[in-house]
Chain A
Amino acid sequence: MAKVVLKLGDDISTDIIYPGRFMATVLPTETPQYTFADITDFNARLKKSEIPQGSVVVGGKNFGCGSSREQAASCLKGSGLAVIARNFARIFQQNSVNLGLNLIICPDLEANEGDELEFTGDTVVNQTSGKSFGTVPLPKSLQATLDAGGLIPYTRQRLLHGKTLTGMK
Chain B
Amino acid sequence: MGMTMVEKILARAAGLAEVRMGEVVEPRVDLAMSHENGALVLNQFNEIYQGTGLEAKVWDPSRIAIIFDHRVPAESAKTATNQKKVREFVAQQGITKFHDIRGDEGGICHQILPENGYVRPGCVVVATDSHTTTHGALGSFAFGIGATEMASVWALGCALNVEVPGTIKVVVDGKFAPYVLPKDLILYLIGQLTAEGANFKVLEFHGETIRSMDTSGRLTLCNMAVEAGATSGIVPPDAETLRYLREVAGVTENVPIFGPDPDAIYERVIEIDAASLGPQIACPHTVDNVKPVEAVAGQPVQQIVIGSCTNGRLDDIEMAARLLEGKKIARGVRMLIFPATARIFREAMRAGYLSTLMEAGAVVANSGCGPCLGIHQGALGDGEVALSTTNRNFKGRMGNPKGEVYLCSPAVAAASALTGVITDPRKGS
Do A and B belong to a common assembly? Answer: yes
- Does B251 count as interface, using CB distance less than 8 angstroms? no
Question: Measured between alpha carbons, how far is A87 from B229 in the docked complex, in Å?
Answer: 12
| Assembly CA distance A152 to B50 (angstroms) | 10
Q: How far is the CB of B347 from chain A (nearest CB, A)?
A: 29
| Docked-complex contact A90 and B78, CB < 8 angstroms | no
Q: Chain B contacts of A168 at CB under 8 A?
A: 24
12 new A-B contacts at CB < 8 Å, known A15-B394, A163-B26, A167-B24: A20-B373, A26-B37, A26-B40, A26-B147, A70-B146, A91-B130, A95-B146, A95-B148, A99-B148, A152-B48, A155-B155, A156-B49
- A129 interface residue per 8 A CB criterion: no
Check A24 against B375 for contact (C-beta < 8 Å). yes
Shortest CB-to-CB span from A38 to chain B, Å, is 4
The 29 sampled A-B contact pairs (Cβ below 8 Å) are A13-B392, A20-B399, A23-B70, A23-B373, A23-B375, A24-B78, A27-B43, A62-B199, A65-B196, A66-B394, A67-B392, A68-B129, A68-B144, A70-B128, A70-B148, A90-B200, A91-B145, A94-B149, A95-B146, A141-B162, A144-B160, A144-B161, A152-B47, A152-B148, A152-B151, A158-B156, A159-B155, A168-B24, A169-B24
As a 0/1 sequence over residues 66 to 95 of chain B, the CB contacts with chain A under 8 angstroms (1 = contact) are 000011000010110010000000000000
Is the Cβ of B78 less than 8 Å from the Cβ of A91?
no
Q: Are A11 and B24 in contact (CB under 8 A)?
A: no
Query: Which of A16, A68, A87 meets B130, CB within 8 Å?
Result: A68
Q: A13 and B161: CB pair below 8 A? A: no
A67 touches B160 (CB 8 A): no
Question: Per-residue CB proximity of A67-111 to B under 8 Å, as 1/0?
Answer: 111100100000000000001011100110011000000000000
B156 touches A67 (CB 8 A): no
- Chain B interface residue count: which class? 35 or more
Interface size class of A (residues with CB under 8 A): 35 or more
Shortest beta-carbon distance from B92 to chain A in Å? 19
CB distance from A2 to the nearest CB of B (A): 25
**Complex CA distance for A30 and B240, rounded to whole angstroms:** 47
Check B216 for interface membership: any CB of A closer than 8 A.
no
CA distance A1 to B397 in the complex (A): 35
Known: A15-B392, A90-B229. A62 touches B196 (CB 8 A): yes
Specify which of A11, A68, A144, A152 lies most central, judged by the most chain B CB atoms within 10 Å of its CB: A68
Q: Are the CB atoms of B149 and A11 closer together than 8 Å?
A: no
Q: Are A151 and B52 in contact (CB under 8 A)?
A: no
Whether A134 is near chain B, meaning CB under 8 Å from some CB there, is no
- Which residues of B are found within 8 Å of A16, using beta-carbon distances? 394-396
Interface of B with A (CB < 8 Å)?
23-24, 26, 36-37, 39-40, 43-44, 47-49, 52, 54, 70-71, 76, 78-79, 82, 128-130, 132, 144-149, 151-152, 155-156, 160-163, 195-196, 199-200, 229, 231, 286, 288, 373-375, 379, 392, 394-397, 399, 401
If A73-B146, A141-B163 touch, does A155 touch B151 (CB 8 Å cutoff)?
Answer: yes
Q: How far is the CA of A159 from the CA of B397 in the complex (A)?
A: 39
Enumerate chain A interface residues (CB-CB to B < 8 A): 11, 13, 15-16, 19-21, 23-27, 38, 61-62, 65-70, 73, 87, 89-91, 94-95, 98-99, 139-142, 144-145, 150-152, 154-156, 158-160, 163, 165, 167-169
